[in-house]
Amino acid sequence: MGKYMFSRRNFLKLAAATGSASMLAACGGGSSDGGSDAASATGDGIGVMLSTNVMSLDTDLATDGDSFEVIADCIDGLMQMDSDGAAIPALAETTDVSEDGCTWTFHLRDANWSNGTPVTANDFVFAWRRIVQNQGEYAYMMSDIGQIKNGPALAEAILAGEDADVSTLGVTAVDDKTLEVQLEVPVPYFDSLMYFPTFYPINEEFYNGLEDGTYGTSPDTFLSCGAFVLSDYTPGTASLTVTKNADYWNADSVSLPSINYQVVGSSDNALTAFKSNSLDVVMIGGNQVAAAEKDADLADKLVVTGAGYMWYLTFSQTEKNAQGGMLANQNLRLAFTNAIDREALVDNYVMDGSLATYTAVPPQFAASATTGEDFSADQDKFKDYIGYDVEKAQKYFEDAKKELGVDSFEFTLIFGNNEGDEVTKVAQAIKEQIEATLSGVTLNLQAMTKAERLDKMQEDNYDVALTRWGPDYADPMTYLGMWITNNSNNYGFWSNAEYDKIIADCTTGEYVSDYDARWAALYDAETLVMQEAVIAPLYTKANANLINPSVQGIEFHPVALNRVYKNTTVE
Partner 1 sequence: MAETAYVPTKEDFELLTGRDITTDKNFASQSYWKGVAIHFLRNRRAMVGVFIVLAIILLAVFGPILSSYGYRDIVSYTDEAGKQVVAKGIAPQIGHAGDGPFDQYTFLFGTDDLGRDQWTRTWHGARVSLVIAFVTIIIDMIIGMSYGLISGYFGGAVDAVMQRIVEVANSVPRLVIVSVLAIFMPKGMGLVIVALLLTEWIGMSKIARAEMLRIKEQEYVLASRTLGAHSMHIIFKQILPNTIGPIITQVMFSIPTAIFTEAFLSFVGVGIMLPQCSIGSLIENGFNNITTLPYQILPPIIVLALQMLGFNFIGDGFREALAPKLEDM
Partner 2 sequence: MKKYILKRVAMSLATLLLITFVLFVLVRIMPGNPFPSERMSAEQIANKRAELGLDDPVLVQFSRYMANLAHGDFGKGTSLYYGAPIKTVLGQCISNSFRIGGLAIFIGTAVGLILGITAALNKGTFLDAFCTVFSILGVCVPGYVFLIFLQYFFSYKIPFFPYFFDSSRFLFSSVMPALSLSLFTMSTVARFTRNEMVEVMDSDYVHLAESKGMYGNMLVTRHILRNALIPIVTVLAPLIVDLLTGALVVEKIYGINGIGKLMVDSIAGEGVDYNYVLALGILYSALYIGIMLIVDILYGLLDPRIRVASSEGGDA
Between the alpha carbon of residue 369 and those of residues 99, 111, 355, 380, the distances in Å are: 18, 30, 24, 22
Q: Do you know the residue count of the chain?
A: 571
217 part of the interface to partner 2, by CB under 8 A: yes
Number of residues that bind partner 1 (CB under 8 A): 32
Q: Annotate 287-298 with DSSP letters as a single string.
A: HHHHHHHH-HHH
User: Rule CB under 8 A: which of 485-504 touch partner 1?
Assistant: none
Which x/- pattern over 425-444 shows residues binding partner 1 (rule: CB under 8 A)? x-xxx-xx-----------x
Position 553 contacts partner 2 (CB under 8 A): no
Strands 302-315 and 535-547: antiparallel
> Counting contacts by CB under 8 A, is residue 396 touching partner 1?
no
Residue 216, binding choice from partner 2, partner 1, none, Cβ under 5 to 8 Å by partner class: partner 2
d(CA 374, CA 513): 20
CB 105 within 8 A of CB 95: yes
Q: Contact region for partner 1 (CB under 8 A) — 60-68, 184-192, 228-236, 423-431? A: 423-431
Q: Which of 417, 487, 495, 569 is close enough to bind partner 1 by CB under 8 A?
A: 417
Q: Which stretch binds partner 1 (CB under 8 A): 163-171, 212-220, 280-288, 493-501?
A: 280-288
Torsion 316-322-325-327 (CA) sign: negative
299 binds, among partner 2, partner 1, none (CB under 5 to 8 A by kind): none
Within residues 234-273, the interface with partner 2 by CB under 8 A covers 234-239, 262-266, 268-269, 272-273
Neighbouring C-beta atoms of residue 407, cutoff 10 Å: 8
Instruction: Scan residues 228-257 and list those touching partner 1 (CB under 8 A).
Output: none
By the rule CB under 8 A, 178 interacts with partner 2: no
Residues numbered 413 to 452 that lie near partner 2 (CB under 8 A) are: 418, 449-452
Cα(111)–Cα(231) distance, integer angstroms: 20
Taking the complex as a whole, how short is the minimal distance between the CB of residue 5 and partner 2, in angstroms?
Answer: 8
Q: Of partner 2, partner 1, none, which one sits near residue 158, judging by CB under 5 to 8 A according to partner kind? A: partner 2
Distance (Å, rounded) from C-alpha 372 to C-alpha 370?
Answer: 6
131 or 273: CB nearest partner 1: 273
For the segment 367-396, give every residue that binds partner 2 (CB under 8 A): none
Q: Which does 273 bind (CB under 5 to 8 A by kind): partner 1, partner 2, none?
A: partner 2
Per partner kind, with CB cut-offs from 5 to 8 A, the member of partner 1, partner 2, none near residue 56 is: partner 2
Neighbouring residues of 121: CB distance < 8 A, sequence distance ≥ 6: 106, 108, 172, 173, 174, 175, 176, 177, 178, 179
Helix/strand/coil (H, E, C) string of 39-60? CCCCCCCEEEEECCCCCCCCCC
Establish if 450 lies at the interface with partner 1 (CB under 8 A): no
Contacts for 488-495: CB closer than 8 Å, 24+ residues apart: 488/458, 491/314, 491/316, 491/457, 491/458, 491/460, 491/462, 491/465, 491/467, 492/314, 492/315, 492/316, 492/317, 492/327, 492/534, 492/535, 493/316, 493/317, 493/318, 493/460, 494/317, 494/532, 494/534
Among 144, 389, 452, 460, binds partner 1 (CB under 8 A): 452
Q: Find the shortest distance in angstroms from Cβ 200 to partner 2.
A: 16
List the one residue out of 543, 504, 525 whose CA is nearest residue 361: 525
Min separation Cβ 364 and partner 1, Å:
22
Report the nearest approach of partner 1 to the CB of residue 268 (Å): 5
Closer of 211 and 252 to partner 2 (Cβ): 211
**543 counts as binding partner 1 under rule CB under 8 A:** no
Asked whether the beta carbons of 503 and 525 are under 8 A apart, the reply is yes
Instruction: Label the pairing between strands 441-448 and 409-416.
Output: parallel
58 binds, among partner 1, partner 2, none (CB under 5 to 8 A by kind): partner 2
The count of chain residues that interact with partner 2, using the rule CB under 8 A, is 72
Contacts of 331 (CB under 8 A, 6+ apart): 396, 397, 399, 400, 403
- Among 266, 323, 458, 485, the residue binding partner 1 under the rule CB under 8 A is 266
Residues in contact with partner 1 by the rule CB under 8 A: 266-268, 271-272, 286-288, 290-291, 341, 343-344, 347-349, 417, 421, 424-425, 427-429, 431-432, 444-449, 452
